[in-house]
Structure 1
Amino acid sequence: MPIIHGAVPPRDVLLSFITDNPDRASKREIAKAFGLKGDARVELKAALKALEEDGLVQKSRKSLTRPGALPPVTVLDITTRDKDGELIGRPAEWPEDAGVAPAVAIRQSSSDRNKGKSPVGGLGDRVLAKIFPSKDRAGPAYTARVIKVIDKRRGALLGVYRDLGGHGGRLMPIERRGEEMVIDAADLGEAKDGDLVEVEVLRSFGRQGLSRARVLSVVGSVASEKAISMIAIHAHGIPYIFPQGVLDAAEAAKPASMAHREDWRHVPLITIDPHDAKDHDDAVYAEPDPSPDNPGGVIVTVAIADVSYYIRTGSALDREALKRGNSVYFPDRVVPMLPERISNNLCSLREGEDRPALAVRMVFSHEGRKASHTFHRVMMKSAAKLSYQQAQAAIDGRPDDKSGPLLEPILKPLWAAYAILKKGRDRRQPLELDMPERKIVLKADGTVDRVFVPDRLDAHKLIEEMMIQANVAAAETLEKKRQPLIYRVHDAPSLAKQETLREFLATIGFSLAKGAALRANAFNGILDKAAGTPHQIIVNEMVLRSQSQAVYSPENIGHFGLNLMKYAHFTSPIRRYADLIVHRALVGSLGLGEGGITPEEEASLDDIAAEISTFERRAMAAERDTINRLVAHHLAGRIGEEFDGQIAGVTKAGLFISLPQFGADGFVPVSTLGRDYFIYDEAHQALTGEKTGLGYQLGDAVSVRLKEALPLAGALQFEMLSEGRKMPAGTRSFHKATRRSGRPGPRKPGTRPPRGRR
């Protein structure tokens, strides 16, 4: 079709221009390129807005770009069809401050069509998909191949039913951007007032112009202590009910035999865990190395529950474990990867009971350098179960009746070994971020009792370092055997993120070396310099934001944060599927008996790694949402009260305020900050008044008043009480800043990138 100069071009031409001319993709430049004036500019604005709403372009300051990179494997919700009838999906998880989620075209290969296979997924389905950059510049920026359909009924919504007195009622949304709906009496099912329900949206409209809905299932009362985490479980599609066949398989499992096992029941291995732990998948023991060739050296033994013996590839238990990917931890419950019969019984390294394990025996020199290691399939018997606090108290001179007898023969040798391992850690210099994690304690009724930061004990560090060394040993052994495996990898910060951090640090007089080969110790130097200064919190936060997210991959790129070249998760197979894969790989490659990895499983490691990485992000998002909702419930009765907080995020639309005493965020819209025009400076992470020069910066301590709390959405909105402080002149520079958004408003907290897990 010929292009008429002076007329708004078709969508495909606009998309091609934006793709080919990223430096000229503002509305003004596009209008100039196509000779658009007057009413044509209004039409162009509408056309570009439609492209943005369809997820085909996104705004980047004043210009338009094709949507930013998606992970190679992403959970998609299939939401619509294009003009040719092809399915279109969007990422199920997408930050609110990142604009419209990009559209992704769902493709079925021609070979599948020729074989008569049914289309993968349908409208309303949630799918796990492999993502590819699109070659069709006039359509969505991505195409996708569906790996599996996760949920066939994503058209269903979750909400709270409110009765209106015998004639049905209303569905109250649990999401901030959700809509209220009418539920007629005939569509009510068993729902009662206050029930958390799953509904199907009907296409017609009901009374007062609201959409109508039909109740599909009753999840439970919203007043129950389990309701808050259940909202997150449903919203994120986390499997939480074990099929009966899986439970039957778990109940039918028998204790492991001694076949292909060494008898280690005489080795006094002990477990050190949180005081309320119900499953114990790791035990430790240490002793001096008697070899004259290694004076002052130690032998550290780490034994891990032998889950691969019970969970065989392709079994019902295995399929369900992969579907979950990992256990999910909420303040009021755990959604386990494996049934309780396996996780809390047969595989749990219980005190005084015979349990199968996969153990690694590691020899270290007195300088903390590992000299050798060997893996063993064993039968063990835990000599004792201690909490972190118990073990630490005993070392600190306060033993109790249980830890006292263990002090000399077991605990002191463990601490002596840790002192040696710490030498190696200090020499390695992993990234040492100071970002304390808060723990929420609930009352009996499921509401928040208190939020606190647990003490970081040497007992925690001891177990962590011994687990890290066991994970390294697993990766090294499998590489030596040329055995395919799943690594835990953590890429170095991108050059773009490094530059953003570098610009910020320059504003507070700090510097970061340039170059693509930065090591973790370069960041540690910055963190050490900031320690004890007013900049400590903000520097830690900005360094964290600069980091990549750790993922699982069959391709090894090393672990930047730990400063390790070979690293694989091996030590938690009860709660992580990645560890189970590594166990199977060790069993198979070392000839340790039954339960080894299969050729079919090896061929699927790419997809498995991508799936479990996605499920890990899903778990983190669900855990974060639950904490936000619990805190919003806790504060709902305190509207109008004043709180001390800290600025935890800065955007064009406003400020995220963290309440350290509660461990959650709220939002202050920029429109409520005052009558000045506020300018957003990304480099300084600040909002500054154009006229007054007063503003707010990431890390600032502020006082706020709680204005609104939406418990079901987990959203808090604050009013700023603190006056802005005088900001550096550079924060008002227009060449590095943008004016405040014309459409500021409240948004849901918790949209900052989730913190990666090691």
Structure 2
Amino acid sequence: MKKEVYNKIKKSSYKDRTLISLAGLLHIDSEEGFNKLNKALYSLTKESKILRDKDGHYNVIQSKDFVKGKFDLKYKGYGFIIVDDETHPDIFIPKTEKNTAMDQDYCLVEITREKARGKLEGRIIKVLERNITHVVGEYYNEQIFPKNYDNDVVYKLRKEDRKKVTNHQLIKAKITRYGRTFIKECGLVEILGSVDDKDIEIKEVIARHNLLDKFTSEELDYARSINQEVDEADIKNRIDLRTETIFTIDGEYTKDIDDAVSIKKKNDNYILGVHIADVSYYVKEDSVLDKCAYNRGTSVYLANSVIPMLPKELSNGICSLNPRVDRFTQTCEMEITKKGEVINYSIYPSIINSKYKMTYTNVNKILENDEEITKEYADIASDIMLMGELRQILSNVREKMGSINFETIEPKFIFDDDGSIKELKVRERQDAEKLIEEFMLVANQVVATHVFNMKLPFIYRIHELPNQEKLSNIVKMLERFGYSEGLDDNTTQFNLQTILKKVEGTLYEKVINMLLLRSMAKARYAMDNVGHYGLAFDNYTHFTSPIRRYPDLIVHRFLRKYVFNNNKSYDDETKAKLDDISKQTSKTEREAMICEREVMDMKKAEYMEQFINQEFTGIISSVMKFGMFVELPNTVEGLVHISTFDEDMEYDETNLMLIGNYTKKQYNIGEEVKVKLVKVNRLLGKIDFELI
């Protein structure tokens, strides 16, 4: 009926385009027909094919006069529509023509006139998708004040909800009326607590980003109904590895254990086993838990807390490879030569019984020949030493391939029993951590290559070429530092390896690592396998963390179908589903990273509150027109605002430096400076320094 209604509107005179007139023209004389007409009109309006004006008349939208795009609202009230079609010029929207649109809303716009030099002006007809639907902030005297408060907008709690809250509570509210004024009416959704409550900032991040931090009763009931013992009937369908020497290596406090490892020698070759929790055996396709995991996409780690992708009955229970209990796994067993070449492999369903829950700390001690720890774990010490050998071989092979190892410095918080931060230090990444990393990388690569060669639909972890302009700027910067000999700005992995080696051990190492990372494209999930630039792998996927990442769970599901069950059938629906999962999980991964970074910044600010007015030595990590950021050895970063300098400063955008107008003193990225901590904002996660 949609097509018939659309054509009738298109051909009818203006006076015949009301709901009643259209019903008459279409000879509708029943309630059912009237409902169908209403649905058709709603659907066509939703698709932006027709528009209902203020007098109730429906009009066909002519594509040449109407476009869609995001609204870039400027401080003074006017804005521009950034049109979907990148070749189309932006459209200027006067302050009086923005309708109810707010910044970054997706809008339908009518082009009203063409100005000089091809510039366009328009008016917003309709907001198609709101950028902001909810607001999280402190309640005070009828208003809600978000963390990054914008004085141009007033968020007012509706009258009937005000008696439910008190001043200085943190609340979440839904915008119920946008209106054309700067006042937006909001309805109460949730009271998060008092602004002075411990860890309230984490609750603020969770609420603002709409993270799913609680499981529904249906999800919990489903998880609790799963037997916490392995199904004896399914053991016969698996290779039994319970008598093999298999163990896990994780952090001291890890509860969701995805992976276990084993090693043997076969003549001069290594037989490496990577055994991954068979989560897909328990989380069936289209089940309650499958939909739950799809929506979350990943576990989110917020300082000393975690929002798991799956309920603890699975993540810490039957799926976790806990020591001395039987667990179902998927195994990737590889025969690797002394040159690091995988000459044979097999991927199969298995059952294991992990002998130990080893920690990175103890494995590092064994690798360093600590007598006491080596004696305590005498039965696996030789296996660990063998793993150390293989780790070095695999690492060397990756380097020769062009794989880029960014030595990123990550913070590590030490918490008291009450959750207070006792210490902030740099997370050490020693041989045990690198050992597990190398083993997971080679298993992921083998699994991806196996399915790629089958030419079947699959999810890959891809990483595209870096930003050429940013890379060129880094090379120019190294010229200024005197480290450019033999360098060019080509985007080969070997060139980037050379850059990292040039600055290794210098003041500029941390900064150049960071800038190179920023020049990189973001790794993502995709069906189209274009390879992984950073690792220099032609084929790569995520197979090794199905408890905490949904793509890994899907990889397991398709291994079961393609490899274990030898079912190679697929259709367009399979492809569409994998494409959707790739996009969804890439999105949830980005959101999780943003939340984790925000909470990390807040915790750093909380830790630094005790050091107000103390002096520190740090490195200039970035320079902006409004000042420069200084990073301390413990990874804390703070701003030295341009207004706090002793003289007026000029920003040199080409060379990314600040220059004193009077003294001509230059402040460059990578330089060591002394600063004083003058201000901390815990909720914003911001730290202010002044230069000494």
Name the TM-score class by shorter chain. 0.7 to 0.9
- Aligned partner of 1:126 in structure 2 is none
Contact 2:348–2:564 (Cα < 8 Å) also in 1: no
| Structure 1 residues 703 and 401: alpha-carbon distance in aligned structure 2, compared to 1, 3 A threshold | closer
- Aligned partner of 2:270 in structure 1 is 298
Task: Specify which of 426, 430, 437 is matched with residue 464 of structure 1.
Answer: 437
- One-letter amino acid matched to 1:275: E
Contact 2:366–2:381 (Cα < 8 Å) also in 1: no
For residue 403 of structure 1, report the CA deviation from its aligned partner.
4.4
Task: Specify which of 568, 582, 598 is matched with residue 609 of structure 1.
Answer: 582
Tell me the alpha carbon deviations over residues 243-302 of structure 1, each in whole angstroms, 9 at most, x when there is no partner.
111111111123443252121111111000001000111000011014xxxxx1111000
Taking structure 1 as the reference length, the TM-score comes to 0.71
Q: Equivalent residues in 2 for 1:323-334 (5 A)?
A: 323-334=295-306
For residue 137 of structure 1, report the CA deviation from its aligned partner.
9.6
In 2: Cα distance, 1:325 partner to 1:397 partner? 41
Task: Specify which of 163, 167, 172 is matched with residue 198 of structure 1.
Answer: 172
| Structure 1 residues 594 and 365: alpha-carbon distance in aligned structure 2, compared to 1, 3 A threshold | same
- One-letter amino acid matched to 2:280: S
In 1: Cα distance, 2:395 partner to 2:510 partner? 26
* 1:564 matches 2:544: no
In 1: Cα distance, 2:244 partner to 2:282 partner? 23
- Aligned partner of 1:155 in structure 2 is 133
Task: Specify which of 65, 75, 79 is matched with residue 53 of structure 1.
Answer: 79
- Aligned partner of 2:247 in structure 1 is 270
Moved more, 470-479 or 398-407: 398-407
For residue 544 of structure 1, report the CA deviation from its aligned partner.
2.1
Contact 2:294–2:550 (Cα < 8 Å) also in 1: yes
Contact 2:459–2:582 (Cα < 8 Å) also in 1: yes
- Aligned partner of 2:362 in structure 1 is 390
Contact 1:491–1:557 (Cα < 8 Å) also in 2: yes
Secondary structure of 2:237 counterpart: coil
* 1:692 matches 2:670: no
- One-letter amino acid matched to 2:360: Y
Secondary structure of 2:658 counterpart: strand
| Structure 1 residues 275 and 637: alpha-carbon distance in aligned structure 2, compared to 1, 3 A threshold | closer
Secondary structure of 1:561 counterpart: coil
Alignment gaps of 5+ in structure 1 = 1-11, 17-46, 58-63, 68-80, 91-100, 108-135, 163-167, 291-295, 722-758
Task: Specify which of 640, 645, 650 is matched with residue 678 of structure 1.
Answer: 650
* 1:706 matches 2:677: yes
Task: Specify which of 507, 519, 524 is matched with residue 492 of structure 2.
Answer: 519
* 1:375 matches 2:343: no
- One-letter amino acid matched to 1:252: S
* 1:498 matches 2:471: yes
- Aligned partner of 1:238 in structure 2 is 211
In 2: Cα distance, 1:201 partner to 1:298 partner? 61
Contact 1:440–1:448 (Cα < 8 Å) also in 2: yes
* 1:544 matches 2:517: yes
In 2: Cα distance, 1:378 partner to 1:321 partner? 23
Contact 1:645–1:704 (Cα < 8 Å) also in 2: yes
| Structure 1 residues 196 and 598: alpha-carbon distance in aligned structure 2, compared to 1, 3 A threshold | farther
In 2: Cα distance, 1:106 partner to 1:320 partner? 34
Tell me the alpha carbon deviations over residues 193-232 of structure 1, each in whole angstroms, 9 at most, x when there is no partner.
6532213467699xxx997765432123444444222211
* Larger radius of gyration between Structure 1 and Structure 2: 2
In 1: Cα distance, 2:585 partner to 2:598 partner? 20
Secondary structure of 1:299 counterpart: strand
Secondary structure of 1:540 counterpart: helix
- One-letter amino acid matched to 1:619: A
Task: Specify which of 257, 260, 264 is matched with residue 283 of structure 1.
Answer: 260
Task: Specify which of 339, 343, 360 is matched with residue 311 of structure 2.
Answer: 339
- Aligned partner of 2:5 in structure 1 is none
- Aligned partner of 2:334 in structure 1 is 362
Tell me the alpha carbon deviations over residues 624-672 of structure 1, each in whole angstroms, 9 at most, x when there is no partner.
11122222233346544433332222112221222333x3332222233
For residue 490 of structure 1, report the CA deviation from its aligned partner.
1.2
Secondary structure of 2:273 counterpart: strand
| Structure 1 residues 569 and 636: alpha-carbon distance in aligned structure 2, compared to 1, 3 A threshold | same
In 2: Cα distance, 1:138 partner to 1:584 partner? 51
In 2: Cα distance, 1:326 partner to 1:560 partner? 23
Secondary structure of 1:367 counterpart: coil
| Structure 1 residues 627 and 302: alpha-carbon distance in aligned structure 2, compared to 1, 3 A threshold | same
| Structure 1 residues 202 and 310: alpha-carbon distance in aligned structure 2, compared to 1, 3 A threshold | closer
Contact 2:659–2:667 (Cα < 8 Å) also in 1: yes
- Aligned partner of 1:745 in structure 2 is none
In 2: Cα distance, 1:301 partner to 1:560 partner? 26
For residue 488 of structure 1, report the CA deviation from its aligned partner.
0.9
Task: Specify which of 388, 404, 410 is matched with residue 431 of structure 1.
Answer: 404
- One-letter amino acid matched to 1:376: Y
Moved more, 258-267 or 213-222: 213-222
In 2: Cα distance, 1:699 partner to 1:159 partner? 37
In 1: Cα distance, 2:178 partner to 2:610 partner? 37
Task: Specify which of 283, 288, 295 is matched with residue 316 of structure 1.
Answer: 288
Taking structure 2 as the reference length, the TM-score comes to 0.77
In 2: Cα distance, 1:332 partner to 1:224 partner? 16
In 1: Cα distance, 2:474 partner to 2:516 partner? 7
Percent identity reads: 28
| Structure 1 residues 49 and 709: alpha-carbon distance in aligned structure 2, compared to 1, 3 A threshold | closer
RMSD: 3.8
Contact 1:273–1:388 (Cα < 8 Å) also in 2: yes
Moved more, 425-434 or 277-286: 425-434
In 1: Cα distance, 2:332 partner to 2:687 partner? 48
Alignment gaps of 5+ in structure 2 = 1-62, 68-72, 110-117
* 1:218 matches 2:195: no
- One-letter amino acid matched to 1:486: I
* 1:251 matches 2:227: no
- Aligned partner of 2:14 in structure 1 is none
Secondary structure of 1:718 counterpart: strand
| Structure 1 residues 469 and 436: alpha-carbon distance in aligned structure 2, compared to 1, 3 A threshold | same
- One-letter amino acid matched to 2:393: I
- One-letter amino acid matched to 2:284: R
For residue 52 of structure 1, report the CA deviation from its aligned partner.
7.4
| Structure 1 residues 433 and 419: alpha-carbon distance in aligned structure 2, compared to 1, 3 A threshold | closer
Task: Specify which of 433, 458, 465 is matched with residue 485 of structure 1.
Answer: 458
In 2: Cα distance, 1:464 partner to 1:368 partner? 15
Contact 1:262–1:377 (Cα < 8 Å) also in 2: yes
* 1:188 matches 2:188: no
For residue 175 of structure 1, report the CA deviation from its aligned partner.
2.5
For residue 353 of structure 1, report the CA deviation from its aligned partner.
0.7
For residue 333 of structure 1, report the CA deviation from its aligned partner.
0.7
Secondary structure of 2:564 counterpart: coil
- One-letter amino acid matched to 1:608: I
Moved more, 410-419 or 472-481: 410-419
